[in-house]
């Protein structure tokens, strides 16, 4: 169970990276303003995943 919870932050960061990549594609080919907003959303999701990993490292259970 502990290993599954620790990998959750990595999955969240990967989802954020995918959202940012989609936003980059939209920004380059369709509309730059919309792409920039989607990139920001992706960066925020990715950063929240990094915070989750740090939280698990420093404050997670000591099993």
> pLDDT means per 10 residues in the chain (63 residues)?
65 95 96 96 96 88 61
Q: In the chain, where are the structural domains located?
A: 2-58
Q: Specify the residue for token string 């939209």.
A: 26
* pLDDT number for residue 2: 53
d(C-alpha 13, C-alpha 31), whole Å: 25
Can you spell out the DSSP letters for the chain?
-HHHHHTHHHHHHHHHHHHHHHHHHHHHHT-HHHHHHHHHHHHHHHHHHHHHHHHHHHHS---
């Amino acid at each position: 169970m502990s290993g599954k919870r620790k990998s959750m932050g990595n999955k969240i960061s990967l989802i954020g990276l995918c959202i940012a990549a989609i936003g980059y594609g939209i920004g380059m080919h369709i509309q730059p303003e919309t792409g920039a907003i989607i990139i920001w959303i992706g960066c925020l999701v990715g950063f929240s995943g990094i915070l989750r990993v740090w939280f698990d490292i420093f404050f997670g259970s000591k099993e």
